[in-house]
Structures are given as C-alpha cells and as structure tokens.
C-alpha cells in the first residue's frame, strides 16, 4: 500500500530510520537538522519498534555511541550539521578504520566556522576526501528530494552493511527543511542475527573473541589492513556509482550538480532548452564513488561543463579529474548560505557558452 505523506526532509530521515529497522539513533541538536531527533522523540520508536533514541551530550559522544552500537552489529545512525560533523571527524575515521557499518547524515549549512544556518554544499571535500585523518572513504549519497531522504536511509544501511563501511547522506538545509510528497516504504524488521565473524556481542565458547578496533601498531599489518580498505573502496567504485541524467543525450553543454543544486539546475536546463540551448544536467547521486567514467564520456561529447555547487567550488575538482582536460569546466556557485536561483544558473551557463568566466 502506497503511504503518501507531506514531510520535511529531516522528518523523512527520521521516519525512514524507524521503518528501515534501525536499532538506534544518537544525536545532538543543531539547526537545520534538529527535526530528526525531535521527530524521533515524538514518535516513540522504542514503543513502535524497540529502537533506541538518545540525545547525547555532544556530537562527539554521539558518534562514539554510534561506534559502540555499530561494533555490535546493530543498525545505527546519527545526524548533524556542518560544525557538528567536523567534531565527529575523529570518530568517523575510527569507524572507517574499524570497518563498522553505520549511517551519518549531514544537513549542511553555510560555513566556515559558525557561519550561518542557511543551506550550503561546502562540505563536499570533507565528505568525499575524508575530513578525518588517514586513508579512508565514506560512501556518500546525495539526495535531491525528500523522497530520496527517505529512500537513502534504507539504501544507506544496505550499503553500510554490504561494505562494513560508514555511509554518509550529504544533504543540506534546503532538502532538510523543505516538504514534499513522500511515498514511505514499509516497516522493515530490525536485525536479529549478528555476524559471528566480527560483531562484538559477547564471546560464546564456540568462537574466538571479536574485537572492534582500528589499531595495529605494527606498520606492516596496518598497511595490509589499509590495502583491504582500498580494495573495498575500489569495489565501491566498480559497483556503486549512481547518477541521474536529464536531457544529456543531445546536450552540447552540461551542468553537473548534486542535491538541491541539481534541482535548481534542472529548472535552469528547462529554461535553457526553452531558449534553444541544448543543455543537459548530470546529477551524481553517489559523490563517492564519483561517476567519473560517465562524466568522462560526456566530457568528450559536450562543449563545456558547468559545475553548480553551493560552495566556492569543490566538486569541480572531481569533474575536472574526470574530464582530464578534454573540455572547459567552469564553476558557478552561491555560498555562505545563499541559494542560487534557476535564472542565475542559466546566466552562468550562457556565460560559459559565450566563452566568458567570472
């Protein structure tokens, strides 16, 4: 049965977490994502499914609670916004290093520092290249609708467990605060079996003790562990690239944008097409793994690429790496909390076409 609701993106995350059979949520309030925790608290998930929800004393405590729960094989998530996500970087690096599955949601706001509480996409580098220390990657999903806020919670858990890796949902204030129609998926059962190969659930006689750790003081063993991680990231690059195309088939000019920028850019493409410009939109859904091959192919087809981000230009580097010099890649962004309007994007595209740049 289709269950339709008008929901905020943040609420969709929360409802989807309950329905995805999450075992626990640990979080700390911060605008513009506090509705996640608020919705959960109001929904009494302990009564609904037995899910634990706890307001932690800080983001650092929250991510380490996630670490603990994840170590036991439970399905666990946290959410925050930019400054809070920065605080979680050590914990995230630990989780990645210890190969624990979990879901982290960042509803990005304008920075740097305390910045503003308005939407932004300036945490792309942090999310995709590793804001924490060491060679690790998060699998990064970038929803562009409230529907995807819901869907990616389910998908995110699946991928997190498939790869035993933290998955980041990189959203922003627009997607978190807007309401749209959502078709909710059905309640999934909570996990009841725990992989005896790694979950820290208490050592029975039959098996060796399990340990969740990212430590190995021996550099050669540590390097081996790192090779294993790299192999995993490679597998993600091979299997998990997700993207969406609009009007790319015959496009002469390409906009690449993710999340809310993609929504805005889609409108810009419509406006451009109305003006006779053969524009297309390529929307990476996974930011890591980045759809490098697809963009590389399009780079051979089009005359110019416009990267539209609510940032000073971060994803553009990945696009340029994919384009490898084949075509001019230009950046358009509003940032610090300002959201570009579709016609501004169109203008930037026209500027690119005319050979100009800002």
Partner 1 sequence: MNLKDIIKPENLVYSKTPLLTDNVMSYCPGCSHGTAHRIIMEVIEEMGIQSETIGVAPVGCSVLAYDFMNIDMAQAAHGRAPAVATGIKRCWPEKYVFTYQGDGDLAAIGTAETIHACNRGENIMIVFINNGIYGMTGGQMAPTTLPGMKSSTSPFGRDVATMGNPIKMTDLVAQLPGTYYVTRQAVHKPVNVRRTKKAIRIALENQKLNKGLSFIEIVSSCNSGWKMTPVQANIWMEENMIPFYPLGDLKVDGELVKK
Partner 2 sequence: MTEEIIIAGFGGQGVLSMGKILAYSGIMQDMEVSWMPSYGPEMRGGTANVTVIISDERVSSPILNQFDSAIILNQQSMDKFESKVKPGGVLLYDGNGITRHPERKDIKIFRVDAAEEAARLSTTKTFNMIVLGGFLKIKDVVKMENVIKGIKKSLPERHHHLIKVNEEAIKRGMEIVYPVKN
The residue ranges that bind its own copies (CB under 8 A) are: 60, 82-87, 89-90, 93-98, 108, 110-118, 120, 122-123, 125-126, 129-136, 213-220, 222-226, 229-230, 311-312, 314, 317, 320-321, 324-326, 334-339
41 part of the interface to ligand TPP, by CB under 6 A: no
- Beta carbons within 8 Å of 278's beta carbon, 6+ residues apart: 247, 250, 251, 252, 253
Any idea what DSSP says for residue 189?
Answer: P
Q: Contact at 8 Å (CB) between 269 and 243?
A: no
Least distance from partner 2 to the Cβ atom of residue 115, Å: 13
From partner 1, partner 2, its own copies, none, interface partner of 255 (C-beta below 5 to 8 A by class): none
> Which of 281, 284, 271 is closest to 250 using CA atoms?
281
Least distance from partner 1 to the Cβ atom of residue 76, Å: 7
Torsion of CA 302, 307, 313, 318, to 10 degrees: -60
Kindly give the pairing relationship between strand 329-332 and strand 304-308.
Answer: parallel
From partner 2, ligand TPP, partner 1, none, interface partner of 230 (C-beta below 5 to 8 A by class): none
30 part of the interface to partner 1, by CB under 8 A: yes
Q: Which two tokens stand for residue 281?
A: 């939109």
Least distance from partner 1 to the Cβ atom of residue 201, Å: 6
Binding region for partner 1 (CB under 8 A) out of 34-42, 121-129, 169-177, 268-276: 34-42
Q: Residue for token digits 């430590």?
A: 215
> Which of 118, 119, 127, 89 is closest to 284 using CA atoms?
127
Query: DSSP per residue over 5-33, as a string?
Result: EEEEHHHHHHHHHHHTT--EEEE---TTS
Any idea what DSSP says for residue 193?
Answer: -
| Nearer residue to ligand TPP within complex by CB, 214 or 270 | 214
Q: Of the candidates 54, 178, 271, 351, which one interacts with partner 1 according to CB under 8 A?
A: 54
Any idea what DSSP says for residue 109?
Answer: B
Query: DSSP per residue over 233-284, as a string?
Result: HHHHHHH---EEEES-TT-SEEEE--HHHHHHHHHHHHHHHHTT--EEEEEE
| Nearer residue to ligand TPP within complex by CB, 82 or 330 | 82
Binding region for ligand TPP (CB under 6 A) out of 22-30, 186-194, 205-213, 227-235: 22-30
| Residue 170 to residues 138, 141, 205, Cα–Cα distance (Å) | 11, 6, 42
Angle at 311 between CA 309 and CA 315, to 5 degrees: 55
Site for partner 1 in 66-125 (CB under 8 A): 66-72, 74, 76, 83, 90-91, 94, 98, 113-114
| Nearer residue to partner 2 within complex by CB, 73 or 173 | 173
Number of residues forming the site for partner 1 (CB under 8 A): 55
Least distance from its own copies to the Cβ atom of residue 289, Å: 14
| Nearer residue to its own copies within complex by CB, 170 or 184 | 170
- Beta carbons within 8 Å of 347's beta carbon, 6+ residues apart: none
Binding flags for partner 1, 198-237, as an x/- string (CB under 8 A): --xxxxxx---xxxxxxx----------------------
Q: Which two tokens stand for residue 145?
A: 């609708």
Q: Of the candidates 7, 14, 30, 155, which one interacts with ligand TPP according to CB under 6 A?
A: 30
83 part of the interface to ligand TPP, by CB under 6 A: yes
From partner 2, its own copies, ligand TPP, none, interface partner of 105 (C-beta below 5 to 8 A by class): none
Least distance from partner 2 to the Cβ atom of residue 7, Å: 10
Counting Cβ atoms within 10 Å, is residue 55 exposed (0-12), middle (13-18) or buried (19+)?
middle
Binding residues (CB under 8 A) for partner 1: these are 23-24, 26, 28-31, 34, 37-38, 41-42, 44, 46, 52, 54-62, 64-72, 74, 76, 83, 90-91, 94, 98, 113-114, 200-205, 209-215
Binding residues (CB under 6 A) for ligand TPP: these are 28-30, 59, 83-84, 87
């Amino acid at each position: 049965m289709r269950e339709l609701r008008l929901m905020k993106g943040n609420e969709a995350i929360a409802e989807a977490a309950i329905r995805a059979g999450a075992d626990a949520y640990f979080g700390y309030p911060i605008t513009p994502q506090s509705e996640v925790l608020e919705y959960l608290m109001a929904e009494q998930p302990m009564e609904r499914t037995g899910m634990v929800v706890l307001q932690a004393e800080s983001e650092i405590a929250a991510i380490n609670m996630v670490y603990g729960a994840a170590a036991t094989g439970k399905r666990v998530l946290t959410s925050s916004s930019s400054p809070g996500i920065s605080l979680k970087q050590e914990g995230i690096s630990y989780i990645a290093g210890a190969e624990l599955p979990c879901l982290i949601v960042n509803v990005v706001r304008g920075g740097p520092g305390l910045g503003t509480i308005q939407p932004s996409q300036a945490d792309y580098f942090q999310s995709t290249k590793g804001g924490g220390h060491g060679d690790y990657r998060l699998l990064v999903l970038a929803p562009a609708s409230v529907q995807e806020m819901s869907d990616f919670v389910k998908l995110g858990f699946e991928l997190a467990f498939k790869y035993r890796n933290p998955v980041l949902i990189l959203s922003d204030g627009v997607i978190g605060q807007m309401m749209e129609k959502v078709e909710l998926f059905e309640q999934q059962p909570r996990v009841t079996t725990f992989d005896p190969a790694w979950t820290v659930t208490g050592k029975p006689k039959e098996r060796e003790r399990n340990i969740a750790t990212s430590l190995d003081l021996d550099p050669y063993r540590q390097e081996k562990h790192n090779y294993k991680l790299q192999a995993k990231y490679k597998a993600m690059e091979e299997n998990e690239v997700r993207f969406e195309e609009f009007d790319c088939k015959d496009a002469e000019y390409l906009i690449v944008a993710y999340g809310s920028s993609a929504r805005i850019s889609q409108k810009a493409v419509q406006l451009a097409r109305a003006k006779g410009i053969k524009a297309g939109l390529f929307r990476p859904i996974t930011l890591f793994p980045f759809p490098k091959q697809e963009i590389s192919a399009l780079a051979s087809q089009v005359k110019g690429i416009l990267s539209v981000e609510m940032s000073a230009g971060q994803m553009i580097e990945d696009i340029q790496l994919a384009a490898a010099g084949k075509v001019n890649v230009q950046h358009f962004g509003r940032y610090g909390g300002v959201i570009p309007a579709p016609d501004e994007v169109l203008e930037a595209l026209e500027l690119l076409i005319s050979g100009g740049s800002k």
